[in-house]
Structure 1
Amino acid sequence: MTVGFVMLVHTALDRAEQVARHWAENGCPVVIHVDKRVKSNDYQPFVESLADLDNVLFSKRHACEWGTWSLVAASQDASEVMLDRFANVQHVYLASGSCLPLRPVSDLKAYLAARPTTNFIESVTIEDVPWTVGGLDQERFTLRFPFSWKTQRRMFDNYVSFQRAIGYKRKIPEGLVPHLGSQWWCLSRQTLTAILRDKRRAAYDAYFKKVWIPDESYYQTLVRLYSTDVESRSLTLSKFDYQGKPHIFYDDHLQLLRRSDCFVARKIWPRADRLYDMFLGDGQNPMKGAEPNPGKIDRVFSKAVDRRVNGREGLYMQSRMPAEGQERGKTCAPYSVFEGFDDLFEDFDQWLTRTVGARVHGHLYAPEGAQFVGGQKVYAGALSNSPTLRDYDALGFLTALIWNTRGERQCFSHGPRDTQDISWLIATDPNAQISVISGAWMVTLFRSNLDFVTVRREAARLQKIEAEHLEILRSRHVKARIRIWTMADFIENRMEFLQTIIDEIGPRNVRRLTETPKMRDLTGFSKFLQDLKNKGMSPYLVGDFPTGTDSETAPRESKRPYLVK
């Protein structure tokens, strides 16, 4: 007794010929169904290439289309030829033209000989395992599907909606309990004969012709009528992604396929020369007694699906641009944003670089362009300092910068003069550390030497922008680490506040600060603020700045910053 193979072929005929010859030369009859849509000038050479093998036959051809009855009809006709012409076949193994045997044929023969009545077919009820992909579970058995899902999609959808609207339901033939499973099976001769020669077959066939994707339910349902010796699993390794599409195996999957211990795998890339040479060659080592165990590589596929669906934190790929709010991490690494510090302190970026060793940029969102560290025009990952390119996707600019420089902490300045498009991104990003000295931009305006009318108008504009920005930073949706001080409060206790910031950036740096950045000359700043008030502009974001004091304010009672979580 031996095993016979039924092959459904529609493409890559050269590879199908290679696999069919391998099985036939190892004593296994092969019956091949070739899709009727394959042109005769391709079909005839394929038939002639196997003409020297008397245990290779061809069955009646059908024009096969995914999800339709034609696939079942093709397997029925080929199976009938197998049963009629090869009496020594004990099991019939359904395979496709893209299948590849992973173990010696002798190993498969011995395995099946030890289980002469066992049927290997995935067969599960919908109620117990709702694993289907495509939105139709029970309905695929109770509605009619005369139209192709792929080529007649509009008619398919409209007809389904119509049946739902009128409450139409088909009657399932008496005695049948619908089951689903992989279409790649290996059935015993006794069970397959019972299915194909049952006197009720015409009624069953008529019913399943209008079931959606019948090749995943016809044999899976009927096998339960004729056998109690069913192992609900396939001997063929066939993996699917989250969309229900089959994974394709390439040359670099060689070790993965070996680990599965499965007898056959699909779907193999036709140009995977290394796989075909290795598994169809004479040098492979039989895995005697090894139980097929695709679960051994399930972890790899689960990780692949997770990577495909969710991606990596902070990486936005062209293949999986996420919907807003469905990102897997807005950025990939911690970074710091300083608002108002370079307005209040001279050479703040140089001091911060010396203190924490991070990469400190200027204003990345300045109107005139991104101020990369060192004045570079192009930075990591070919990011340009062009404001036009940056603002085309302001959020993507920041996430790309953090991704391209992962492993090195990035710091940059921000303020009300800059593009504000990133406010919600940084506020809701757990990787962001945002430190704000509100109203500090007044110092730059104070030192600008502009006429007072222009200064008054600009101060009002910038204060409105910063107020809206601070409102976002205080939102209940905030996930960033945020500290906000008024300029007046920060000046009073700047050493402690700077120490807090530095400790958060570099927690391993436990030393106390011995120097602070040099504060800009604020002589006349109090009068400047009072002049603004006198002209009807209230610079409230600066805080309670001392009136009539032109020197640096002496530290008073220590005030703790408030933390927005």
Structure 2
Amino acid sequence: MTLGVLMLVHTDLQRAEQVARHWIAAGCPVVIHVDAAVDRQTFKAFKANLSDATLVRFCKRHKCEWGMWGLVAASQSAAELMLASFEQVRHVFLASGSCLPLRPVSELTSYLDARPRTDFIESATTADVPWTVGGLEAERFTLRFPFSWKKHRYIFDKYVNLQRRLGFKRSVPKGLVPHMGSQWWCLTRQTLSAILQDPDRSTYDKYFRKVWIPDESYFQSLARLYSTSIESRSLTLSKFDHQGKPHIFYDDHLQLLRRSDCFVARKIWPRADRLYQAFLDQAQREPRHAEPNPAKIDRIFAKAVERRTIGRAGLYMQSRFLDQYWENGVSAAPYSVFQGFAELFEDFDTWLTAASGCQVHGHLFAPERAEFAGGQKIINGALSDSAKLRDHNPQGFLTNLIWNTRGGRQCFQYGPSDLQANNWFFAKDPNAQISIISGAWAIPLFKSNRNFAEIRKQAAKLQKIETDFLDVMRSPWAKARVRIWTMAEFIEAPMEPLQTVIDEIGKQTPRRLSEAPRMTDLTGFGQFLQNLKNQGMHPYLMGDFSVSSGETSDGKPPRKPYLVQ
């Protein structure tokens, strides 16, 4: 009898009883602390069920709240009873009711017998602890925390802020260096008795009562005063997610737990019948005599945390929505946005489809409907062309479209008449290729048969919208590949920018374009812009158009030289 076990039990008492019997079957005495929050009738029934176990004791009960002193008090009471009742115990192992031995108890006792003077307790200074969550590292030892973080979060935060403003700072007891680590330890009788019988224990207890999460610092700090040999690690496998919450092990973690070679694991799901059956059945297990090595499975947990926090690029769901600090790519695949091309060129969609091999949509964010390629009403992922559904979550509409059409590049038209809710999304998305012919929105107005007063008013509105859009695209925070041409600049030599855009899409083998899409007739467009100026509206986004721009002596638009290879 060299190993004694302390069990802190809160819920699922039937599993705690099962594990307790497993410990005593191997000759290990067990002292059980049952949370005072458990009702008296349930406690009496649990105690009666173990009345036949001579190696089981029940200690004084304390109310245990997360982050509060009760967990330390429970450990103290259980440890005092263990040391007083079982003199042969050399090592004391602290566990919870949800802990499960992964290897035969005989292997653990043999391991500890080979290290009779070694204390196994994770113990590191605050400067060396990378896992604290919540911003309270050194402050947990210098401020007072009388309020429960879980039950009284508002008061907890207000009281912390008040102490910071007042410059309040507690003094650490002389000679004590605060350390932190896992709550689950295995201490020698000498070290544990020295902590519990220290003449200054009342001073230490008074100090740690108002420390935040004292169960992760009380024994971890005091063990440094008395231990002659500390292994700063826990013999219990416990993994935590990015929010500091413990991972729960289920039946499908069976092989993972076996691979760790750890002696004990927490936190086990109480209905993981397969785990309890596999690890508590001594007859089917062979001794391995391996050093506990949780690093074997660290890669899997790191991958799980990565998937949980940053997910897959462009995939959003209820369990993992976009977070600007964790995002792993805002969209799932590259896509292209064209502004002004459909206005300047006739049948641009058809030409681009043939030239690039991509799926080319119309104006996906047009006011009336989403103009899917081929006039489709429903597209991959059951996305509807309904403007009402799209406008409820424009970003979700776009990311769903790109996710559901992975493997094929999506191209679509955009303009100042469209819904502008995704402008910053476009700009910050490295997958976005945005090509803009500024001022091309004026062409439909030029060709429209509307009163000029209405045209002037609409032109002023569209110019302002496009100006704001261009400001976003030129932002220093923009990560998209953005190319901007004025309309006058573009029509002077359209082949070069079109070739650049097609090469960048890269869907097909790069080749020189043999033809360009047919440009719309711009006869009279220069005079149209001058008329806008005469009416008090200054159209500056188109570039420098003279009154006769786009006209020849016969009244036809000039032909542009196209290079054919």
TM-score (norm 2): 0.90
Which residues in structure 2 correspond to 1:124-523 (within 5 Å)?
124-129=124-129, 131-282=131-282, 284-286=284-286, 288-322=288-322, 327-506=327-506, 509-522=509-522
Q: Match for 2:16: what amino acid?
A: A
CA contact (8 A) 2:338 2:414 kept: yes
Kindly state the Cα deviation for residue 162 of structure 1 after the two structures are TM-superposed.
Answer: 4.8
Other structure's SS at 1:89 match? coil
Report if the CA contact (8 A) 1:36-1:64 is conserved.
yes
State the distance in 1 between where 2:466 and 2:152 align. Answer: 56
In 1, Cα distance between equivalents of 2:184 and 2:67: 14
CA distance in 2, matches of 1:176, 1:487: 74
State the SS of the aligned residue for 1:542: coil
**SS of residue in 1 equivalent to 2:90:** strand
Residue identity opposite 1:552 in structure 2: P
Q: How does 1:12-91 map to 2 (within 5 A)?
A: 12-91=12-91
Q: What residue identity is the alignment partner of 2:40?
A: S
The secondary structure found in structure 1 opposite 2:148 is: coil
Matched AA of 2:37: R
Cα distance, 1:199 vs structure 2: 3.6
Alpha-carbon displacement from aligned partner over 1:342-361 (angstroms, at most 9, x marks no partner): 22223222222222221211
Inter-partner Cα distance in structure 2 for 1:340 and 1:428: 21
* Cα distance change of structure 1 residues 175 and 478 upon mapping to structure 2, 3 Å threshold: closer
TM-score (norm 1): 0.90
Q: Distance in 1 between matches of 2:206 and 2:215?
A: 14
Deviation of residue 266 (structure 1)? Answer: 0.8
Per-residue deviation, residues 66-92 of structure 1 (Å, max 9, x unmatched): 222221221122222222222332211
Contact 2:551 2:558 in 1 (8 A): no
The amino acid of 1:74's aligned partner reads A
Partner Cα distance (1:474, 1:174) in 2: 59
Instruction: State the partner residue of 1:563.
Output: none
8 Å Cα contact 2:117-2:228 kept in structure 1: no
Deviations 1:254-274 (A, max 9, x none): 222222211111111112222
Shift of 1:228: 1.4
Q: CA deviation at 1:323?
A: 5.4
Name the amino acid aligned to 1:26: A
User: Which stretch shows the higher mean deviation, 70-79 or 515-524?
Assistant: 515-524
What is the alpha-carbon distance in structure 2 between the residues aligned to residue 475 and residue 161 of structure 1?
A: 37
Compared with structure 1, are the counterparts of its residues 158 and 515 closer, same or farther at alpha carbon in structure 2 (3 Å cutoff)? closer
Of 109-118 and 73-82, the range deviating more from structure 2: 73-82
Q: 1:557 to 1:406 in 2, by over 3 A?
A: closer
CA offsets per residue over residues 111-152 of structure 1, 9 Å max, x none? 111111111001112244364333333333344433333334
Distance in 2, matches of 1:351 and 1:487, equals 19
- State the 1:54 CA deviation: 1.8
Q: How is 1:98-137 mapped onto 2 (pairs within 5 angstroms)?
A: 98-129=98-129, 131-137=131-137
Counterpart in the other structure of 2:560? 555
Change (3 A) 1:547 1:537: farther
Specify the code of the residue in structure 1 equivalent to 2:207.
Answer: Y
Instruction: State the partner residue of 1:562.
Output: none
Q: What SS is found at the alignment partner of 2:482?
A: strand
Alpha-carbon separation, structure 2, partners of 1:548 and 1:519: 14
User: Aligned partner of 2:398: which letter?
Assistant: L
Offset at residue 379 of structure 1 (A): 2.6
Secondary structure of the residue aligned to 1:244 is coil
CA distance change for structure 1 residues 173 and 486 in 2, over 3 Å: closer, same or farther?
Answer: closer
Kindly indicate whether the alpha-carbon contact (under 8 Å) linking 2:356 and 2:507 is maintained by their aligned counterparts in 1: no
Cα gap change, 1:423/1:161 in structure 2, threshold over 3 Å: closer, same or farther?
closer
In structure 1, the residue matched to 2:5 is: 5
Offset, 1:370: 0.9
The answer to whether the 8 Å contact 1:527/1:548 transfers is no
The letter of the residue matching 2:551 is G
Deviation at 1:362, TM superposition (A): 0.8
Q: Which runs of 5+ in 2 are unaligned?
A: none
In 2: Cα distance, 1:325 partner to 1:263 partner:
37
Q: What are the superposed Cα offsets for residues 275-328 of structure 1, whole Å, 9 maximum, x if unpaired?
A: 222222246544522111112222222233233333333334444545557644
Distance 2:373 2:364 in 1: 9
Change (3 A) 1:72 1:529: closer
How far did residue 451 of structure 1 move? 4.1
Distance 1:481 1:177 in 2: 54
Q: Distance in 2 between matches of 1:124 and 1:543?
A: 66
CA contact (8 A) 2:345 2:518 kept: yes
* CA RMSD of superposed structures (Å): 2.7
CA pair 537-218 structure 1, distance change in 2 beyond 3 A:
closer
Q: 1:208 to 1:340 in 2, by over 3 A?
A: closer
CA offsets 1:31-54 (integer angstroms, 9 cap, x no match): 111111112332222223223322
Structure-2 change in CA distance of 1:22 and 1:427 (3 Å): same
- How many positions carry a matched residue from both structures? 558
Contact 2:17 2:50 in 1 (8 A): yes
State the distance in 2 between where 1:355 and 1:283 align.
70
Structure 2 distance, partners of 1:448, 1:163, is 68
Distance 2:232 2:3 in 1: 19
Note if contact 1:394-1:421 (Cα within 8 Å) is conserved in structure 2.
Answer: yes
Output the CA distance in 1 between the equivalents of 2:412 and 2:200. 76
Paired-residue identity, %: 65
- Name the CA shift for 1:293/1:164 in 2 (closer, same or farther; >3 Å): same
Q: Secondary structure at the match of 1:111?
A: helix
1:8–1:96 CA contact under 8 A, matched in 2: yes
Q: Offset of 1:12 from its aligned partner? A: 1.0
Which shows bigger deviation, 325-334 or 523-532? Answer: 523-532
Classify 1:325/1:470 alpha carbon distance in 2 versus 1 (closer, same or farther; 3 Å): farther
Question: 1:343 and 1:158, CA in 2 relative to 1: closer, same or farther beyond 3 A?
Answer: closer
